[in-house]
Amino acid sequence: MVNLRSIREKLSWQGVVFAALFLTAAVIFAGFYLPARKKAGELEEQLSQLVQNEQLLLGIVEQIPQLEAGQRQIEDRLLTSAKYIPSQYDLPEVLEGLRTLSTYYGLDIASLDHVPVKSEQGSETGIIPLVMAVQGSEKVFAYLLHIQEVLPSLKVTQVGLGYIGRGLFHLELTADLQVFMLDHAPATGLELAKLTREDLVDLPVQAFGLPFEIISQYLGRQVQVLGIVDFQSQRSALVSKEGKQYWLRAGDRLGEAVVREISSNGVYLDIDGVDLKLTIGG
């Protein structure tokens, strides 16, 4: 009590005012300034984080022009490829192209068959197996090379080549036409290369001979020279083949064979490049 009284005695109105003001200042500092400062600190930290993120994001966003340019380039390349690689819907154009090219090379297509497209589910590509037989001159091989050039996705799996005589060849081709699969038929983008030239890869006819089955028809006493007659400076030979008899002079044909020369004791035949000599009674 003594202390309170002594304090009350010592208090003046100025002292109370000063204490109140001091307390107000302390409340402002602790209640408003310090929280504001804390919040500012937090905001600065978050801003710094945001700036870092922004730098990262900007780095990613800056790739957009480069990525777009890359996308355009690939799209252009795909567009170019689509001109050479058919889709499954382009088969009629491909078959027509093969026929047109054969006409260009003066060849006959004996057969041109295909089986429906084979493709694994979800795959972007498929295969249409083709089987083709072509007959014609020594240009058959040039034709083969040309179709591979015109249809670069045509994967040739087997080539059979045979000579059928009189400068003509028979080419059998087994191939897989590789196509890209489309969900629906578009306006075709396929552009088969224009026919502006002939490939100059001719087969050497002289290296080929008729199938030996044909040659053997003139061998082994199946064709016999029965006699040779000289009359008015012309020489003729009586030849028997398959039970029939023929009078032949040089230049005459006997089936596939051409009489090249008649000597005093025999007949020389040329069976499309294969030379045979049949002697009298031989």
Which parts of 106-145 interact with another protein (CB under 8 A)? 124-125, 141, 144-145
Which parts of 241-270 interact with another protein (CB under 8 A)? none
CB closer to another protein out of 53 and 234: 53
> Cα–Cα distance between 67 and 147 in angstroms, integer?
37
CB closer to another protein out of 119 and 250: 119
Under 8 Å between Cβ of 115 and 129: yes
Residue of 11, 115, 156, 226 interacting with another protein (CB under 8 A) = 156
CB closer to another protein out of 163 and 259: 163
CB closer to another protein out of 262 and 278: 278
Q: What is the 3-state secondary structure (H, E, C) of 143-199?
A: HHHHHHHHCCCEEEEEEEEEEEECCEEEEEEEEEEEEECCCCCCCCCCCCCCCCCCC
Q: Indicate whether 166 belongs to the interface with another protein (CB under 8 A).
A: no
CB closer to another protein out of 138 and 235: 138
Under 8 Å between Cβ of 134 and 152: no
Which parts of 28-57 interact with another protein (CB under 8 A)? 28-29, 32-33, 36-37, 39-40, 43-44, 46-47, 50-51, 53-54, 57
Residue for token pair 């028979």: 170
Residue of 100, 157, 265, 279 interacting with another protein (CB under 8 A) = 157
Instruction: Name the minimum Å distance from CB 16 to another protein.
Output: 12
> Pick from 114, 111, 113, 173: which is nearest to 140 by CA?
173
